[in-house]
Amino acid sequence: MTTSPPVIAAANPVAPAPAPRQRPPAFASEQAALQQAQQLADAWAGDAVLRDRERRLPWAEIEAYSDSGLWAITVPRAYGGLQASAWTVAQLIATVAAADGSLGHIPQNHFYALEVLRVGGSAAQQRFFYERVQAGERFGNALSEIGHRDYRRRSRLERGDAGWVLNGRKFYCTGAIFAHWIPVQTMQVIDAAQDPVSVMVFVPRSAPGVTVIDDWDGMGQRVTGSGSVLLENVAIDEAWIVPFQSSFDSPSTIGPFAQIIHAAIDLGIGEGALRATLPFVRSQSRAWVDAGVAQASDDPLTLQALGNVELRLFAARALLRRAGSLVDAAQQEPAAHTVAAASVAVAQARALAHTAGLLAANKLLELGGTSATFAEHGFDSYWRNVRTHTLHDPVRWKYHAIGNYALSGVLPPRHGAL
């Protein structure tokens, strides 16, 4: 039995994002960038529950986010950028995700596209797109497709009468709603004698034939803008086509770089959940009658549970930091052994951040008690967000890759999900 793809109605098409309001400032140091991220996260945390409850797309927050210059921090120094380390990028993402899981997630594909460009783009492409990012423009994504059990892309980039033409339908397009450019993973048909090759096409959001639809209906990450993208006879300039599959034919950090950001999202949401748990336990939770204490903060089993959450989040952060250093090393020396070491380290961090984030979100509700489920607190958003995001790709395959590498020295596969 085959499953028909859902019909994507253009009932909620979204207008293109406005042009950048200003050229964002450049950061003098990575520490300055992290301080700016913390300031923004502090400002956004108070309205996170309301944005989630009303499913209010965070346009103002995204404009402030990119106006800050944070979306340009991975641009290489050779092109005038900060060339921030993978650990700094992970900290940035975790900091924002602790305040709002959706806002932590939205720039993930922007940074991913920049890494694809760094690895596979020509010097001219890098020069052009790095400048666009430093001018304040944002990348979204249109990578995934829905309705098929396999992972083959049905979208096609083919030659038309006047040049390259792109057609396809994409889903899970996180950030596309807010983007100025939508990197599209597609199959390029060179000619009938050759198999199609996988490429990344950087498509202008305002190009004729591009429709972005606000139809994401997940229980969590509700305001990530992860809707659909329709591509109907979109004219494509040759300069927008960046190799993709060939970037995995040799060792590259595209996969571990993408995954370290995903690990940071899970970690950040978990840290945010713990941050919400502590004051609630101090002020509102009730001790269990058999504990023999007056306050929940003195309940020994509550303390044990909190200690377990704190320990696992701390360990996940430590693994994330170690993974960041190995990703940085692999970027400097992209060899089979360095990329494999980075990929396994990131898989370890991702696996632990997955379980720690879920644990923290669960314990917020469990230790808070029934009153923690009241809508006014919005504590359910931590669980919904981390549960939704941890489904991005199966953590069980992280353990497989880690075990296979440890036992038999088998190098993990090279793709964007490991």
Q: What percent of the chain has pLDDT over 70?
A: 96
Q: What pLDDT is recorded for position 152? A: 67
List pLDDT tens digits, range 140-170: 999 999 876 666 678 999 999 899 999 999 9
The answer to whether 238 and 202 are in contact (CB under 8 A) is: no
Sign of CA dihedral 28, 32, 36, 41: positive
For 241, the enclosing helix (H) or strand (E) is strand 241-243
pLDDT of 61-109, one tens digit each?
999 999 999 999 999 999 999 999 999 999 999 999 999 999 999 999 9
* Superfamily of the domain at 30-87+96-134: Acyl-CoA dehydrogenase/oxidase, N-terminal domain (1.10.540.10)
Which residues, including other chains, have CB under 8 Å from residue 32's CB and lie 6 or more apart? Answer: none
Cβ neighbours of residue 197 closer than 8 Å, sequence gap 6 or more: 187, 188, 190, 243, 245, 246
Q: Which of 250, 248, 164, 173 is nearest to 205 (CA)?
A: 173
Among residues 385, 296, 349, 373, the alpha carbon closest in space to that of 102 is found at: 385
Query: The tokens of 359 are what?
Result: 């644990």
Superfamily classification of domain 156-246? Butyryl-CoA Dehydrogenase, subunit A, domain 2 (2.40.110.10)
Residue 207 Cα distances to 13, 63, 170, 203, 213, angstroms: 14, 21, 16, 7, 15
Q: For residue range 298-336, list pLDDT tens digits in order.
A: 999 999 999 999 999 999 999 999 999 999 999 999 999
In which residue ranges of the chain is CATH 2.40.110.10 found? Answer: 156-246
Which residues of the chain form CATH 1.10.540.10?
30-87+96-134
| Cα(258)–Cα(277) distance, integer angstroms | 29
Q: What is the pLDDT of residue 4?
A: 40
Rounded CA gap, 42 and 376, in Å?
Answer: 19
Structure tokens, 414: 């090279």
Enter the tokens of residue 220.
Answer: 């969590």
Q: Provide the angle, in degrees to the nearest 10, between the axes of the packed helices 336-368 and 254-283.
A: 20
Query: Measured between alpha carbons, how far is 173 from 98 in angstroms, rounded to an integer?
Result: 22
Q: Look at the block and give the residue holding tokens 């790095």.
A: 130
Question: What's residue 381's pLDDT?
Answer: 98
Residue 9 has a pLDDT of: 44
Average pLDDT, the chain: 94
On whether the 250-408 domain is CATH 1.20.140.10, my answer is: yes
Phi, psi of 323, rounded to the nearest 5 degrees: -60, -40
pLDDT at position 416 is: 81
pTM of the model: 0.95
Helix (H) / strand (E) containing 131 = helix 123-134
Cα–Cα distance, 307 to 13 (Å, whole number): 47
Show the low-confidence residues of the chain (pLDDT under 70): 1-11, 148-152
Residue range(s) in the chain whose domain bears CATH number 1.20.140.10: 250-408
